[in-house]
């Protein structure tokens, strides 16, 4: 049809139902993890981060997501790799920068979390800011569950400044809902030397008196045996339900296992809030399956797994994380 230039009257078009004005296009959509919360929860995880390997948030976020949690990570450090390598590069977040992130979330009404998870913290100033974060989050959600892994050292060696021990003991532990120290850390927090199972149980009771209703000493070596001791005080002043799990020793050293263990304990204890022993069984069984796979894969690659610390095979173990086969059972103390 030939095109002609003529003066015509144009009929206005109906609005396109798919078109929105610039103003409406720029409006903020709802955060679905808030508008349609999961049955599990929304976790703020403040831990370290490495570009390569699995420690800190790299060990914790993925398993929690597999278990159905929405997880928002804040990286307290960002390193190229973990510090066990000959060298590492990266940046460290300070307390002021952490608070700036919290302020940004608050300004957009994004501070509602069901859980806070913290791991390695290297300075008193950053730990003091964590205390402010806890109070801020609980002003938004008074029912916030705070899961604290008080990473301070292991096997008799402290690898954070001594001042941090005091801050953890006096200020952080009273605010925690669940605490997951190793043997050395439990000793530092309680002042009690743990030489027996009874000592471990007493250490849990001391920590209950200070604040948290759930305590899991994730690894204790007694008489050549490796075990976990857990304790759940369901009401203040009530005798806690306590249990142990004997753990098979695996002849190698792995990085990121403590971070992973605490994340798994958070994940499963929230699904079984009245059965900490069941949650611990699931967490320990997951970890053991993952460590065996890691060990086997290093051997398959022709590497001697006893010669240095090993990077865990987290992605390859996702089926074990989702559906662990419980091989290690808890034994309740009477």
Which positions are annotated as active-site residues? 259
Query: Would you say 179 and 298 are in contact if contact means Cβ atoms under 8 Å apart?
Result: no
Cα(52)–Cα(71) distance, integer angstroms: 20
Query: Tokens 């120290």 map to which residue?
Result: 181
SS (H, E, C) the chain: CCCCCCCCCCCCCCCCCCCCCHHHHCCCCCCHHHHCCCCCCEEEEEEEEECCCCCCHHHHHHHHHHCCCEEEEEEEEEECCCCCCCCCCEEECCHHHHHHHHHHHHHCCCCCCCEEEECCCCCHHHHHHHHHHHHHHHHHCCCCEEEECCCCEECCEECCCHHHHHHHHHHHHHHCCEECCCHHHHHHHHCCCCCCHHHHHHHHHHHHHHCCCEEEEEEEEECCEEEEEEEECCCCCCCCEEEEEEECCCCCCEECHHHHHHHHHHHHHHHCCCCHHHHHHHHHHHHHHHHHHHHHHHHHCCCCCCCCCEECCCHHHHHHHHCCCCCCCCEECC
C-beta neighbour count of 11 within 10 angstroms:
6
Query: Would you say 143 and 177 are in contact if contact means Cβ atoms under 8 Å apart?
Result: no
- Enumerate the β-bridge partners of residue 315: none
């Amino acid at each position: 049809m030939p095109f002609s230039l003529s003066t015509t009257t144009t009929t206005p078009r109906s609005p396109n139902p798919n078109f929105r004005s610039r103003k409406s296009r720029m409006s903020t959509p709802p955060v679905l993890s808030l508008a349609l919360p999961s049955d599990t929860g929304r976790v703020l995880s403040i831990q370290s981060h490495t570009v390569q390997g699995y420690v800190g948030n790299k060990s914790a976020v993925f398993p929690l997501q597999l278990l159905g949690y929405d997880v928002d990570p804040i990286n307290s450090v960002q390193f190229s790799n973990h510090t066990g390598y000959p060298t590492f590069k990266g940046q460290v977040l300070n307390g002021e920068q952490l608070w700036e992130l919290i302020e940004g979330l608050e300004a957009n009404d994004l501070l509602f979390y069901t859980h806070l998870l913290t791991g390695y913290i290297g300075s008193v100033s950053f730990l003091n800011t964590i205390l402010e974060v806890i109070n801020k989050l609980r002003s938004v959600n008074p029912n916030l569950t705070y899961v604290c892994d008080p990473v301070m050292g292991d096997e008799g060696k402290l690898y954070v400044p001594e001042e941090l021990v005091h801050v953890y003991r006096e200020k952080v532990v009273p605010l925690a809902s669940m605490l997951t120290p190793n043997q050395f850390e439990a000793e530092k927090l309680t002042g009690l030397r743990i030489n027996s199972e009874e000592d471990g149980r007493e250490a849990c009771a001391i920590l209950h008196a200070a604040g948290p209703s759930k305590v899991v000493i994730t690894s204790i070596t007694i008489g050549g045996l490796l075990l976990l001791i857990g304790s759940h005080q369901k009401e203040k002043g009530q005798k806690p339900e306590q249990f142990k799990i004997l753990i098979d020793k695996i002849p190698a050293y792995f990085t990121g296992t403590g971070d992973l263990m605490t994340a798994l304990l958070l994940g499963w204890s929230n699904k079984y809030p009245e059965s900490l022993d069941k949650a611990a069984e699931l967490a320990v069984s997951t970890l053991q399956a993952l460590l065996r796979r890691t060990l086997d894969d290093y051997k398959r690659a022709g590497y001697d797994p006893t010669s240095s610390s090993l990077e865990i095979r987290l992605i390859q173990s996702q089926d074990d994380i989702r559906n662990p086969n419980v091989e290690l059972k808890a034994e309740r103390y009477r």
